[in-house]
Structure 1
Amino acid sequence: MSFLAESLSRIKPSSTIAATQRARNLAEQGRDVITLSTGEPDFDTPDNIRLAAIRAITQGRTRYTPTGGIPELRDAVARKFERENGLRFKREQIIVCSGGKHVISNAFMATLNPGDEVIIPAPYWVSYPELVALCNATSVVVPTFAASGLKLTAEALERHITPRTKWLVLNSPSNPSGAAYTRDELRALAEVLLRHPQVWTLCDDIYEHLVYDGFEFTTLAQVEPRLQDRVLTVNGVSKGYAMTGWRIGFAGGPAMLVKAMEMLQGQTTSAASSIAQWAAVEALNGPQDFIAPRREAFRERRDAVVARLNGCQGLSCAVPEGAFYVFPSCRGTIGKRAPGGKVIASDADFALELLNAEGVSVVHGEAFGAPGFFRISYASSMEQLMQACSRIERFCAALGR
């Protein structure tokens, strides 16, 4: 009999964390490594937010807080949802957790039973199916295609709904593809969901502020208010506010669900860090003028990286609407021989041989449910990104039959 829980056998380690750790290990050995596998802004947390955390410390705001978050932060989240998304929530409909992943795991653990199904469009963030598996439920992975911009269509959603479907997961803009749903695309999905009242939707909007070229961000409950009673809208301060290490995520949804999540949180982690919560109050209530220039910097990096990748032999890369990732296809390199002598048989081989040969760390597409692709995070300096692209170009040019 194994000492460890059976549930651990249902999940795998995070591929994004594993890729970053491989890069760290090589760097510790003295290799020159460029890490493009981490989903983390390279900008610093704005000064006013950091100062708010310092004030919280000096004012002694360092004790336990209510499990679902301090009232000031829950109210700030409610104002954010109304101001930016046209969604109205009462305080009891808001929960604050230790990061967006914590919000999602709370929601799944509070609702999923064995036999339940969760529809997850692929490519997907690596943690979605693992969190579903941890709850002993079933992920129904729905492939998406370039013709639909790597986004779920209404027809595909309809085909995959069964009486056991409990959740649909929508991540817009997407990690890893950067694809974002338009208002019309969300409305088409909403029409399907209205016909299936047993299906709830988890909208992961964590990259909301990072959309480009005039794209208008919208979220499902905003587009179709009739669905608001079965939508959990998830967001946080990690990406748009460069606060990944502060670990503050939040959500708005039906009070019944939020209460269940809060009860679960009270017996696991309890409240998020009090200091980080006060910093998040300042992030949401304070000046927002830093977001636009940072977004423009990301757009410039995106355009430069896409152009360079499309000049590489065997690669092709679409222009994503948002986030800070590109998701190029490496199918044109399959079957070729890497400089180290290994024949590239998969996207995982491509990523590993690129790291070995050129010291560039990316994440292979199969980890996101999309074989034949790989993910690059362009949340790095332009200089580093251009150096990485030169190495990728050199690697692709060196591939032989």
Structure 2
Amino acid sequence: MSGHDEPLTDLGAVLFASLPRSDQRRMARTYVRGLLTTRGRKSFRNMAYSLGGPRLEQSLHHFVSCSTWDWTPVTRAVADIMMPVAPPRAWVLRPLVTQREGESTVGVHKRFFAGSGQVLNAQYAVGLWAASPVLSYPLVWRLLLPPEWLQDEARRVRASIPDGFTPETPVECAVGAYLGLPADLRGRLPVVMDVCGIDTAVAVHRLRAARLPFLVRAYRGLHLTAADPGLPGYGAGPLPMYQILAAAKAPRVPVAARAPDRGIPDVRPEAGGAPPAPLPGGEEPPRGLVAAVRVRSPHHPVRPGGRDGHHDPYDLLLFRTRTDTRHRPDEVWLTNMLDADPATLLSLTALPHRVDDSFERVTGCLGMRDFTGRSYGGWNRHATLASAAHAVALHSHGPADLPFGRTFAAEPGHLSVSGV
């Protein structure tokens, strides 16, 4: 017996209720158990050996790569289970880049990644996370499909990519991940987009057109128009954002309180039953507001007498944050939440780091990167089941901030989860 069996049995009835056949529901629980208990890479073969024998490998492969069950209702079930007990403060959009060898794995292509300054052969995806200062968990994953895959008919057929898909930019992929949320959950919370290498101006316009409260992390190269008449450069037209920030006076804003480092279990095999070793981002350092100024939307200077819907000029807040550490650079953000208090904005900008920590300690260890098949549907089913496994892991070990009421000891030979 695994410490995950009881919560997996209880939650599985809800998580997989949408699967039409009892054998599919049973296999879904088996697959999630494999993600939770298999050491090392979560390949079909490794999970089969961990769960009982090589004959299970083909069944696991068929269930994920070749089956037709819809993963969207499972996403909804994860949200219904997690949100009442771990309410998010925002939806966070973060990229997932997985380097691959060869070109057979679905979505793999060569792309320049600004964060590393390299051209990598990799899969590019975006995850949408329900995030709070205490706990974060993934709900939606979207794989970017480049022209190399969508314009090659043989590849499309081999990967079973549905008709109607067109090549996406990283911004479109991120917005698509947000739209993968159930419709009744959209618009409830602000969207925090921290995706290196995106066209920030396009991201801002897309989110505003969707009438969402948002924060978008801005990177170098963005030009904005100063909207504050008292600011040097007012009326000069678009200026580099760093030039505008340099001219702004530093506001008198208190440093945000340190977020509690609780609720993130550690499923790394080496963790054992001991408290997890410190990880980058595991404890968010205090952060303060260095400068903030109102600006006009990017690439849209005021045109007298002209109106063009969502492309009319509009005000944003451009602000810069600094953390109390030498190892993390300043960050620059744009938001349309002009009346939000500084403490709220600072808290929201810390959430992508909490998401990264949750991925490193939980989701990544549960095999999110480990699907290497050709099937587009297979990648999505695997990703959705990894999100379900993340939810089960949290329930299995009852972090102190969640009212789950059970704590399981680590078992020899299994991945362990221990509250932080």
Q: TM-score range by the shorter chain?
A: under 0.3
Q: TM-score, normalised by structure 2?
A: 0.24
Query: 1 or 2, which has the higher helix percentage?
Result: 1
Greater Rg, structure 1 or structure 2? 2
Q: TM-score, normalised by structure 1?
A: 0.24
